[in-house]
A and B are shown apart, each in its own frame.
Chain A
Amino acid sequence: MSLMSLTALELGKKIQAKEVSAVEAAKEALGQIKKLDGSLNCFVTVEEDSVLKKAEEVQKKIDAGELAGPLAGVPAAVKDNICTEGVRTTCSSRMLENFVPTYTAEAVKNLEQAGVVVLGKSNMDEFAMGSTTETSYFGPTRNPWDTEHVPGGSSGGSCAAVAAEECSFALGSDTGGSIRQPSSFCGVTGLKPTYGTVSRYGLIAYGSSLDQIGPIGKDAADCAAVLEAVASHDPKDSTSMKRDSYDFLSALDEDVRGLRIGIPKDYFGDGLDEEVKSHILEAAKVLESRGAVLEEFDLSLVEYAIPAYYVIASAEASSNLARFDGVKYGYRTSEYEGLHNMYKKSRSEGFGPEVKRRIMLGSFVLSSGYYDAYYLKALKTKALIKQAFDRAFEKYDVILGPAAPTTAPKLGESLSDPLKMYLGDIYTVSVNLAGLPGITVPCGTDGKRLPIGMQLIGDCFQERKILRAAHAYEQTRAYTHCPLAAEQV
């Protein structure tokens, strides 16, 4: 049996028990990448030369008793918008094709401290803008369940790599669903933590007020373990919050008896695929059978979440991406006349169409004369959406719904109609606007054998509750390896 078919915690346990070494685990991961990544394209950069050396160092520390954590020696992928010192960090953009950061993101430092062996940097939609990983400058990632289909996005490389068992777990980032939607499409478990839980220092910003790094793994237990490792109060990130507790694993010991689960009727209306709908409702019934209390309710304002999200995220992006100008680092056009022309040509050639679209949208909504009508209105909508969730969480511990309206579309189907693609984010963006934690858990496949994900949303700082529900549900069904990975086993 492949070591990569184990969960991160199972593998970690074997490493601690000296049944396998960190080096063996890293070798298997590299082997799987070699086998599959040519067709899947989950990775932008694999640190082939240094991975085994890092694994050896980790193993030495394990042998010396200096590393005893559950993730020590476990190989992982890191999304390519998270800075790694000395290893290029591209955001899957031509703009940063050769950008090598001078420092490592706090989240990755935390992982390294826990003894995780970073294999490389995973593919994504360019600057995390997109829902299919097709906007990557380095070509699309393919869904390991069916390579004709997209893995979702923007953390498509991370989710596909976990599903294809090219790594034990991965870090992604989620601004409007970028962890939860591809997790759903790839049949893995992905968690977007409460805003401020994982340091953003070193995460190349898209929408600063919405961005959050989170774990992607085979199950809720892996997500809990990785979240424990990466979450920290970081003085270098002023929006980082000091939480009372960073213990997430122990939440899995509890069952769901008495857990109040709200099912928003507005999440099950028009536009939701019937198969997806029935699987989600079935999963809800499973939780009910385990003792949870289900109730339908009206969340309201759902239709306003997408416009508010695209206004706010694009506005912040237009400013965050201004630094990519060809002056200090990154792509610079080869021929230009004067400063203005250099800016214009470098940015025109360095950014892809989706990034340009959002920069233009963001610049427009911040322009004088439009600021009040769009940006300010979006901020007010954001506050109202937060209030709607606050009211819901007075009655419920967890909100249950789909992560995406459909299963993974075919490659090339989405990009031609960006507006339609944006509407696919309907169940995920409001969680970012309200700063809440959300987790996607696989709950079966549709007629095309494509995975369906159930989303569980918690109140701020209530990761333990959604992990508990996710874990309880997983206890009722075995993890389904994607066919491609299963063949390798």
Chain B
Amino acid sequence: MSKQYETVIGLEVHVELATKTKIFCSCSTEFGGAPNTHTCPVCTGMPGSLPVLNRQVVEYAAAVGLATNCSITRKCKFDRKNYFYPDNPQNYQISQLYEPICRNGYVEIDTPSGTKKIGIHEIHMEEDAGKLIHDEWEDCSLVDFNRSGVPLIEIVSEPDMRSADEVIAYLDKLRLIIQYLGASDCKLQEGSMRADVNLSVREVGSEKLGTRTEMKNLNSFKAIARAIEGEKERQIELLEMGRPVIQETRRWDDNKESSHAMRSKEDAQDYRYFPEPDLPPVIISDEWLEEIKARQPELRTEKLIRYKKEFDIPDYDAQIITSSKKMADLFEATTALCGKPKKVSNWLMVETMHLMKEHDMEADDLKFSPENLAKLIDLADAGTINSSVAKEVFEKVFLDDIDPDQYVEEHGLKTVSDEGALRSVIEQVIASNPQSVEDYRNGKEKAIGFLVGQTMKAMKGKANPGLVNQILKELL
């Protein structure tokens, strides 16, 4: 490669909002459910039905806009995007083109060379489509409209990103903000957050943007990173060969780690957008905006400051714990129950992280309750169970959210602190390990460790380790 190239990336991120009901009707948004059970005349596009806007959608969209420094359009409007496809019951999607709810925002990401602002061009509200199910045996296609009308926001960034790392940092930032707002769970794998990557390359120093492509079907951060690398290389290769990059939409195949063209600009559809006549403009009054602002929850930056002040936990720990809303919520709820922030942080930072790695889980997959973690911490803290038993019990809490009190009771895991009982076991251990006793008496301090271990083994791990040490020394 003789020339130096720069990659220019902009993102279109779709986020499914966590409302209980759909954007234009009162059907449930709950996932699953037999096909076409969460439907009504509105979300199946029956003739004569009319949309009614869900207020919560506006509030979530505005909340995301406020948290990403956008200006809120005080009189925003909906438009119809016309295209024929069977997953779209009306053959138009109600979206926003001319007056989207949020404009001109930004988020800050951390890069090796410092903080960088990524501009947000706009955020708009729209409805999701249904799902097509192709039955190859019957040679037919079926439509499930349960997802039809589920509210989405589309966050359109400026072309401000220059690498896969920046893209991941931006997405991570967006995800955290939205999760903290409670506006969505933002799961890429499950499709509640979807990102399309617009990418072009140009020679370093060039002011003019190159021809861009749009990459779709990116279902994980890893796939996004791979797709960016792949598309960057493909475009540079074309340019090096003196061939043009064609403006087109491409589909990423993460298994093959390559993409193929879906449609070019020439056969792009004319969506014939026009103002949605069934919905009056949405007027966001001063009062309403103030209400939304007042309800904005504490975001990560504020949490970090508070954790340090209120709980005095290390900066590193606070960073990790607040890196997911789920983890932060667990931390705060458990701390509120047991009043031991440092212990809670420790359990989350060490054992929880360890088990998450072992089971290949994300923080969002955590299932245990703050109640049970708090109980476990109390048990360990009071010396009712010793630390190795505590780890064993925690694994059960982690996997099945069992009640530690009950579990310890049922399995007889309480630490034995009965001196008489311990003494007789230890006497036996001493009697059956004369060599170690000899070594200890000859000044080999380490030998006591073996004897402690033997005692614990005999006690099935439940002995109070301090007490064992003390009795051993005494008897020796």
Contacts and interface: CB of A to CB of B under 8 A. Distances in A.
Given A316-B277, A319-B274, A322-B90, A366 B82 contact: yes
Contacts of B274: 315-316, 319, 366, 371, 375
A89 B47 CA distance: 10
A367 B273 CA distance: 8
B270 A367 contact: yes
B48 A236 contact: no
A99 interface: yes
Contacts, number: 99
B84 A325 contact: yes
Contacts of B277: 207-209, 239, 316
B272 interface: yes
Interface in B71-89: 80, 82, 84, 86, 89
Interface in B37-56: 41, 44-53
B278 A239 contact: yes
B278 A102 contact: no
The number of chain A residues touching the other chain, given as a range, is 35 or more
A371 B46 CA distance: 28
B48 A238 contact: no
Nearest to A234: B50
B84 A322 contact: yes
A319 B276 CA distance: 10
A323 B89 contact: yes
B143 interface: yes
B280 to A, nearest CB: 6
B109 interface: no
Interface string A302-345: 00000000000001101100111101110000000001000100
A368 B82 CA distance: 12
Contacts of A204: 47-48
A83 B41 CA distance: 11
B366 interface: no
B49 A201 contact: yes
B163 interface: no
Contacts of B90: 322-323
Contacts of B279: 238-239
A286 interface: no
A101 B46 contact: yes
Interface in B325-342: none
Given A322-B84, A325-B84, A366-B82, A83 B280 contact: no
A101 B48 contact: yes
A203 interface: yes
Interface in A353-387: 363, 366-368, 371, 375
A200 interface: yes
A96 interface: yes
Given A316-B277, A323-B91, A328-B89, A103 B46 contact: yes
A32 to B, nearest CB: 29
Contacts of A205: 47-48, 278
Contacts of A105: 48
B280 A238 contact: yes
B52 A202 contact: no
Given A319-B82, A343-B84, A238 B46 contact: no
A235 interface: yes
Given A339-B86, A343-B84, A327 B48 contact: no
B92 interface: yes
A237 interface: yes
Contacts of A316: 274, 277
A344 to B, nearest CB: 10
A128 to B, nearest CB: 12
Given A323-B45, A323-B91, 9 more contacts: A101-B48, A103-B41, A238-B53, A238-B280, A239-B280, A323-B47, A325-B86, A328-B89, A366-B274
24 contacts: A83-B48, A89-B48, A91-B47, A99-B47, A200-B50, A205-B48, A207-B277, A208-B278, A236-B50, A237-B52, A238-B51, A318-B272, A322-B82, A322-B90, A323-B89, A323-B90, A327-B143, A329-B46, A339-B86, A343-B84, A366-B272, A371-B272, A371-B273, A371-B274
Interface of B: 41, 44-53, 80, 82, 84, 86, 89-92, 143, 270, 272-274, 277-280
Interface of A: 82-83, 89, 91, 96, 99, 101-103, 105, 200-205, 207-209, 235-239, 315-316, 318-319, 322-325, 327-329, 339, 343, 363, 366-368, 371, 375
